[in-house]
Chain A
Amino acid sequence: MSNTVFAPWDDPSEQPLIKFENVTKRFGSFIAIDDLTVEIYEREFFALLGPSGCGKTTLMRMLAGFETPSQGVIDLAGQNIATVPPNLRSVNMMFQSYALFPHLSIWDNIAFGLRRERMPKDQIDERVSEMLRLTRLAKFARRKPHQISGGQRQRVALARSLAKAPKLLLLDEPLGALDKKLRQETQFELMDIQEKTGTTFVIVTHDQEEAMTVASRVAVMDHGKIIQIATPDKIYEEPNSVYVADFIGDVNIITGTATPSGDDTYAIQWSEDTAPLTAKSAIPFSTGDNCHVAIRPEKVAISADKPSEATNAVQGKILDIAYLGNSSTYHVELPNGAVIKAQTANTRRISRRAFTWEDTVWLSWTATAGVLLAN
């Protein structure tokens, strides 16, 4: 059995479902979207990730038809939809506030879009029942939105936006109003429903964990531009900039100057009184180039004695310990004042923890643990 990986973006023969070409959106003098080009493929679960005000919501609203681009072309399945009004595009949106109609029952909310299409009544019945089954809401069909819980409302909103079988479903912070535990369960449910229906999903979120969990690809945005588009693991392991590395997860950024010291290997001078660090990088650097080493805390090992075979090892004092239950993050202050975070899994009980505050420890990591970034 061939086990093909879903990666249409790597296949040059695939046609994207959505194409943004040099799209710019201005509100007065404010540039919300700045000359943006992006392609999204069919059946993809595409996440737009960024801080508030980065333009991700504007991008989504342009896909839904609530905003028209100031410049550029938005293609949906080969048709320029930049100026098509929202009611005439095969795109549906799940709103952050859910926007359920309070005067209609759950059943009528889900049937709302189908009725507008003048679908025959028996087909509406069938489709609504199918949606209720998919979202496990059959019991609540006759209730009004204010008579059900937040998690159920979220599922009604999803069912309603999926009922018309859109080519593209937009989700605006779909899980923002749910508590953490419910959010995690719902993430998997969303992925499950996306797989079952085969709909292309575009999700807007500021929660990087959510984006990483659900998405096939993540686009990290800032100031109306896309900084990086990649699969979640690539975004995490190979960020293309300090901004992305810093935005996704926890990271140590060490700034210094690079000197080539072998095959793709560089020595990084980062502090006058410490030995240079060694890091591997596919991106070439010349002697004296400024660079940043981004190292994830879980890739930094912590030990009491100096490890004998480590490529990079520094000594420091434990400044702080963040106990997270399953893991602990140690903030270690080096003699030059820099603080490096190291994370270890708590495989032992807390009473038997090896290190405590003020302990002198060694931090070590391999040459490939960090990513070398130019900016």
Chain B
Amino acid sequence: MRRFILIFVPYVWLIALFLIPFAMVLKIALSDIAISIPPYVPQFDWAEGIRAFLAQLDLENFTWLTQDDLYWKAYLSSLRIAVIATTFTLLIGYPIAYAMARAPTEWRPTLMMLIILPFWTSFLIRVYAWMGILSNEGILNQFLMWTGLISDPLVILNTNTAVYIGIVYTYLPFMILPIYSALERLDASLIEAAEDLGCSRFSAFWLVTIPLSKTGIIAGSFLVFIPTLGEFVIPSLLGGSDTLMIGKVLWEEFFSNRDWPVASAVAVILLLLLVVPIVLFQRNQQKQQEAEQ
């Protein structure tokens, strides 16, 4: 009985906070836009019965998504930005995680603290801070002009570069922490054994360290990739008019056009796209747990 309750709690959580809202969004996605409150029809009416209600639902909005090329371009562009940003985060995060894992034991908690510390301030404030740094009159440009490296300010804000900077900055800890935990567990004698058997420092790293931190790399990459794909705040604050991301399209569809049904259809497709990496991520975590037993 106790076991049943223990399993029951997460299921209730999932049903109440994921499945029911998803069903509601799906229903709106299958509805039609209307000038009313809420701005869509049909509304469920007990008098007409469930059959008549279901008969009014259709896939029109999903068809629309395939007809206007804005949507698939936004999906593809989001995918590209997410892949590139994840790669950059990995390239920057791995050396940091490696240095942390190799640091003296007494230093590690401090370094870990420094990685987590930015989370103590609001995410929005940190993104606004980047606007202050990257704008034409921002700190970065002022500094570069003061040193004489450039004479005209660099245009960084409201470009894709600013979006990449923002994403890498925001999601770096999610990349560092899983890689660090994999590297920290790595037995140093394995590297010595590899060198003893004829590896140079570099090939020992390539043949032993990288394969043994693989689960950390995969976990970190998904933790960055999944939220980046639907990211809205960073592209809308740091990106320009040419930054096309599905999160932004979704927001505009919902708040500017007040087209709830199309916005919901966009959200449903985004969720389906995310299911693939989420399932892969779960499988990676499971494999790691099995390997540890």
Contact = CB atoms under 8 A, between A and B. Distances in A.
B192 A97 contact: no
A85 B195 CA distance: 9
A287 to B, nearest CB: 56
B198 interface: yes
B211 A160 contact: no
Contacts of A92: 196-197
Contacts of B194: 101, 112
Given A101-B208, A103-B212, A64 B196 contact: yes
A176 interface: no
Contacts of B190: 99, 101
A146 B195 CA distance: 22
A99 B187 contact: yes
Contact of A116 (B189, B197, B211): B197
Contacts of B291: 102, 146
Nearest to A113: B197
B136 to A, nearest CB: 50
A95 to B, nearest CB: 5
B197 A97 contact: no
B99 interface: no
Interface residues of A, number: 25
A117 interface: yes
A164 B195 contact: no
A26 B199 CA distance: 27
A87 B187 contact: no
A86 interface: yes
Interface in A96-132: 96-97, 99-103, 112-113, 116-117
B193 interface: yes
Contact of B198 (A87, A96, A97): A87
Interface in A65-104: 65-66, 85-87, 91-93, 95-97, 99-103
B203 interface: yes
B200 A95 contact: no
A95 B203 contact: no
Contacts of A160: 197
Contact of A87 (B199, B211, B212): B199
Given A95-B189, A97-B187, A97-B189, A102 B196 contact: no
Nearest to A88: B198
Nearest to B197: A113
**Interchain residue pairs A-B with the least CB separation, the first 10:** A116-B198, A113-B197, A99-B193, A99-B189, A86-B195, A103-B211, A87-B198, A93-B196, A95-B189, A87-B195
